[in-house]
Amino acid sequence: MDNVIKINFESLKPPWIHKADFYKMPFNYCDHWCEKCVLTSICRVYKNNQKAKKKCKSKGIDPYSSECAIESAKDSLDEAMGMIVKEFEKMKLDSNDLPEDEVIFESQTFPLYELSKKICQKIDEFLDSLIDFVGKEGDSADVLGNLLDYYKHLIPSKVFRAISSQIEEQKDDEDPWDSSVSAWIICQSLDRMIFSLSFCLKNPKFKLLQQQTKKLIRILEDFRIIIEEKFLKNDYCEQKM
């Protein structure tokens, strides 16, 4: 009988975030894998996503299609813009008078982002090897494959956000809130992958993948150290903890 990987997919509170703030907005600190999360009952983003899917379904649109995703994004942007306009009116400001943001981020100028994409290529290579070990749905190989496949898409986008946010925060002399939270989510994602890979190392079923698994674990552990050093080893995070 295959021992199945058991992972806590709950959105985890960063040590520097107050508990009350965390539970008000858990979606700020998660990987948005809603199907796995245990905090959906208190998550506004999840509830809004469910409403959007129902709305699409009522219009005859597949709730899991790109068309529905685009329509949902448009509704969210319209709602956000309405809130911004109201705030501007309260403050008697004209949005046309605001200076344009001159910062243009090019992903090619971020070596760390390029490194994250190379690491995801390594994950892809591992997934190709893992295919031969997948048995029935829900076994360890299947769980591991789904987890790696999800996070290989999430991590580069979060790395890009952490870098671009850090640039903006330093430019505006702001606390590194957004960059540190993005880095926290990256570290949690890496921890889950490392845990799952380490779990599979103990399973005789994965004997032929041992060396490849150990190598990928080392890569992910080293990358986690880099992320932690660059974004989480700062006075803001350490003073709040």
Q: Mind listing the domains of the chain with CATH numbers?
A: 17-74 (no CATH), 100-241 (1.20.120)
- The angle that helices 210-227 and 111-130 make with each other, rounded to 10 degrees, is 160
Contacts of range 234-239, beta carbons closer than 8 Å, 24 or more positions apart = 234/176, 234/180, 236/16, 236/175, 236/176, 236/177, 236/180, 237/14, 237/15, 237/16, 237/176, 237/180, 238/16, 239/16
| pLDDT score, position 86 | 80
Distances (CA, A) of 231 to 81, 90, 147, 154: 30, 36, 24, 17
3-state secondary structure of 147: helix
User: DSSP of 178-233, one letter per residue?
Assistant: HHHHHHHHHHHHHHHHHHHHHHHHTSGGGGGGHHHHHHHHHHHHHHHHHHIIIIIS
Tens-digit pLDDT string for the chain (241 aa): 346 567 666 667 898 888 899 999 998 888 888 888 888 899 988 898 899 889 998 989 898 788 887 888 788 778 777 877 787 778 777 656 555 555 555 655 799 999 999 999 999 999 999 987 776 545 788 888 999 999 999 999 999 999 999 999 999 999 999 999 999 999 999 999 999 999 888 888 788 899 999 999 999 999 999 999 999 988 888 766 5
CB neighbour list of residue 7: distance below 8 Å, 6 or more residues apart = 36, 143, 147, 192, 195, 196
| pLDDT score, position 30 | 86
**DSSP-derived secondary structure letter, 176:** -
- Give the side-chain half-sphere CA count within 13 A for 185: 24
Q: Which of 111, 215, 220, 104 minimizes the C-alpha distance to 155?
A: 220
| pLDDT score, position 1 | 35
| pLDDT score, position 240 | 60
CB neighbour list of residue 153: distance below 8 Å, 6 or more residues apart = 120
3-state secondary structure of 104: coil
pTM score, whole prediction: 0.81
